[in-house]
Amino acid sequence: MALCEMCGKESQLVLAEVEGGELNVCPGCLKYGTRKKNVNSGMNKSIPGKKFAKIERTEFKVVNNYSSLIRSARESKDMKQEDFAKFLNEKESILTKWESGSLKPRLDVARRLERVLGIRLVERDVVGKVEKQEKQKAAAEFTLGDFIKTRKRK
Ligand SMILES: [Zn+2]
C-alpha cells in the first residue's frame, strides 16, 4: 500500500498518465488520467530484434523460345499476323520480329502477352541455383524409392 499522489489516500496504486505527467494514483483518481501499461513487467526488454529482411533479388526474363510460343499462340487462334497484331494492340512489324525471334519483347510487354494469350513467356532467372535444386530433388526421389523397396521386401 502507498499514498495516492493525487488525493493522498492510502490505496493500491496504479500508474496513470495525468495531464502529461505520470502519477501513482488510487483507483478513485484513475478517472482523472489514463492508465499506463505496466512498464516494468520486463516485456519491453524482449522486443524482437529487427528482423533483417532477406534480400533476394528475383530476376525475371523472357523465355528463350518466346518466338515459337507467340507464333503457336497466334496459330491456335487461327489468326493472321495482321489480325493478331491488332488483337495484341501491337504493330504488325513488331509481331513479325517477335515471331522470327529477331526482337525479344520487353518484360512488361511479355507479361501483358502472358495475360492476353494465357501462355508463359516470363521465367524466373535462377541461373546458378537450378543445378543445385535439381540435385536435391533427385536425391530425395532416390531416398523415397529406396524406402519403398525396403518396405516391399518385408
Ligand atoms: Zn487518489
Q: What is the pLDDT of residues 53-81, one digit of tens each?
A: 555 667 889 999 999 999 999 999 999 99
Interatomic CA distance for residues 51 and 68, integer angstroms = 45
- Tell me the domains of the chain and their CATH numbers: 2-39 (no CATH), 59-124 (1.10.260.40)
What pLDDT shows up at residue 144?
62
What pLDDT shows up at residue 15?
92
Distance 44 CA to ligand 1 centre (A): 28
Distance 92 CA to ligand 1 centre (A): 84
Please check whether residue 33 is in contact with residue 19, taking contact to mean a CB–CB distance below 8 angstroms.
yes
Q: 10-residue block means of pLDDT along the chain (154 residues)? A: 91 89 92 77 48 65 96 96 96 97 95 95 71 54 61 58
Interatomic CA distance for residues 144 and 154, integer angstroms = 16
With a CB cutoff of 8 Å and minimum separation 6, the contacts of 46 are: none
Strands 14-18 and 34-35: antiparallel
Distance 10 CA to ligand 1 centre (A): 8
Distance 76 CA to ligand 1 centre (A): 83
